[in-house]
Amino acid sequence: MESRPVMLAAELDDQMVRLFDTVQTSDGPALQWTLRRSKVLTPRQVMGRFAAASSATAALALVFWGRGDSTAAVFLLLCLAAEVSAVFAYARHACDRDTETLLNGRLFVEQHCGGKAERTELYAPFVRIEADPMGDGLVSVSERDVTLQLGRHLAPEQRPRFAFELRRALMTMS
């Protein structure tokens, strides 16, 4: 997929960050928003840092064990077990994201959470977008009896902007 930036409306403030890109698909060009956690370590980075920390903890446990202090060694091994569970809990959600793609009158929403992915297809002309004007709540996207909450990976002040862009794109595509 080739990606190139595009602006939808001239009245948008130049200093605001655009949240979408235009991507080329086999069915033609599409607008796409990829909302993911910012400043999150990738699973590879997490594993590298975990390997370094666990190696130091295991070495320290061996030093105490060698000196005959088995209590400290057992405590350090319990700390190592806690580190393992924390890393697995973090890594499970490190790749969480929402991807919204507007293509040929359809809005495709993919929500990835903890290794589970859900894909929903909405008919663009009937999609309603509601955002909390204060930006504190999530953006609600609904069509008939389907309602999705989007924007959990965006900062609260970016959610109204996301709702504005999505609403504008839906009006342009319909």
pLDDT in tens, the chain (174 residues): 444 343 333 333 433 445 777 887 788 788 888 888 776 777 788 888 888 888 888 888 888 888 988 888 788 889 888 988 888 888 777 778 899 999 988 999 999 988 899 999 999 999 999 987 665 789 999 999 999 999 888 888 888 888 998 999 888 876
**Kind of pairing, strands 20-25 and 3-4?**
antiparallel
The neighbour count for residue 151, using CB atoms within 10 Å, is 26
Cβ atoms < 10 Å from Cβ of 126 = 12
Which residues have a Cβ under 8 Å from the Cβ of 116 and sit 6 or more positions away? none
The answer, as to whether pTM is greater than 0.75, is no
Delimit the domains of the chain by residue range.
Answer: 3-37+96-173, 43-93
Right CATH number for 3-37+96-173 from 2.30.29, 3.30.70, 3.20.14, 3.40.50?
A: 2.30.29
Handedness of CA 157, 162, 168, 171 (dihedral sign): negative
